[in-house]
Amino acid sequence: MSCARPGRSEFRPKRVPACLAIEVPTKVTAINEFIVKVASRCNLDCDYCYEYHSGDDSWKTMPKFLSMDSANYLAFRIAEHCREHGLKTVFVTFHGGEPTLAGADRLERFIEIFLGEARSDFLIIFAIQTNATLITDELCELIRHRNIQVSVSVDGNQKHNDLHRLDHRGKSSHVRTAAGIAKLKETVGEQLSGLLAVMDIKTDPLEVFDALAQYGTTSVEFLLPHHNWDKPPPRPGDDEHAYGKWYFEIFKAWIGGRNSHLDIRFFTHILSQLVGNGGIYEAMTLAPITLLTVNTAGGYEAVDCIKSTGSGAHHLGLHVKETSVSSLLTHPAIEVRQKGEGQLAPKCQTCRFKTSCAGGYYPHRYSVANSFNNPSVYCSDLYWLLSEITTHVKALNRHA
C-alpha cells in the first residue's frame, strides 16, 4: 500500500534544546532501525518504567494507538530513506507502552502497509517488545506468519518480578507473563528471541540468572536501571562497585558454563569490544547509533530511554508527515550519537576502557548541569567490571 506524499500538517518543528546544540560531525550514517510506538499506554505499572515514572509525561497527550495515516507516512519515509541510502535491510520494532494492546488485526495492517512500501526493494525484519501478559492465539499466528522476533520483559521468577512489575491494581503480573512466554515458546518457537530483565541490586544475581534460564529462551539481557547524576541509583552500604559486582557474579558463572545455553547480550557486547571488534547494540559503543523512535502521534524522537532523564531531550519536534528520515541526520540529537569519541566527556576521553565502555549508556550520563557531557552515573561500576572481566578472561586463557 502506498501513501500520499508528505504535506503540510499541524505539527510544527520545536526549538532544539540548548543542551543538544553542540559541535556535530561532517559524516552521518543512515538509520536502519525504527522503534515504532504502536501503543502509548500499558496494562502494567512497573515502577521503574522510563515511559511513565521518569518525570516525562508526554505519553498523556499521545494518541492511544498509532493511526493508519501515520503508519502510511512512516512506511513511505522508511522506504524513501532506504532507497536514498541503498539500504537492503531495516528493522522495525513494535514498542509501547505495551504494543500488544494494539491487537493482532491492527498490527497486521501496519505490517502490510510497511511491506507495501518496501515492495522487493529492501527487507524489513519485524520485532516486538512485550510484557507477554496479553498473548492470544491471534497474536501468535501473526508472529508466526510474519516471522516477527519477540522479546519479553520479565525480571526473574515471581519473587523477583513482583518487586517492580505489578499491574495498575498493585497485583502481580508474573503468572500472566509466564503463561505468555510458555504460549509463545510452544507456538512460535525460536521467534521468541530472548528476555529483558532490569537488575535490582537487592536481589541475588545467580538466583535471578537461574530463574531466567528456566524459561528456555536462547538469550537474556540484564539492564541497568535508568538512573542519572540527578537521580543516582541506590547503593547499599555506599558500595561504588555494587552494580559491577552484581554483573560479575553472573559473568563468572556464565563463562564457567552455568546456563551456557544462554547468550547474554551485555557480556557478548563487552567481550566483542574488548578484543577490538564492534559492539552488537546501541549501549556502550562509539559506533554510530542508527536507530530512531516514532511515537503514536507520528512524531520522531531520539532513543526513547532518554525520557528517563525527564529533560525532554528526546523530542525532535518533527513529524513523519512533513519530514524525511534523511533530513533528521543533521539534527543535533541524532548527530551527537554518531560522533564517536567526540560525544564523550573529558574523563572518558582518556579512560583505559574508552572504546569498550564508551561512556556507558547515553541516558545514564545526564545531569542538569552538564546535560549528557558526563561519564555514566555507573562509571565506577563499569570500570571495575571491565577490569575484572579483562583479568578473568586473561586468566582463563592462560590455563586453557
* List of domains in the chain: 29-342 (3.20.20.70)
pLDDT for 7 beyond 60: no
Half-sphere exposure of 389 (CA within 13 A, CB side): 29
Name beta bridge partners: 33.
91, 291
pLDDT for 241 beyond 70: yes
pLDDT for 18 beyond 70: no
Cα 273 from Cα 108, distance rounded (Å): 38
- Percent with pLDDT over 90 in the chain: 82
- Is the bond leading into 97 cis (omega within 30 degrees of zero)? yes
pLDDT for 4 beyond 60: no
Supply the mean pLDDT for the chain.
91
| Helix/strand/coil for 385 | helix
pLDDT for 394 beyond 80: yes
Contact 296, 66 (CB under 8 A): yes
Confidence band of 5 (pLDDT split at 50, 70, 90): very low
**DSSP H or E segment with residue 282:** none
What average pLDDT does this structure show over 127-136?
Answer: 98
Name beta bridge partners: 169.
none
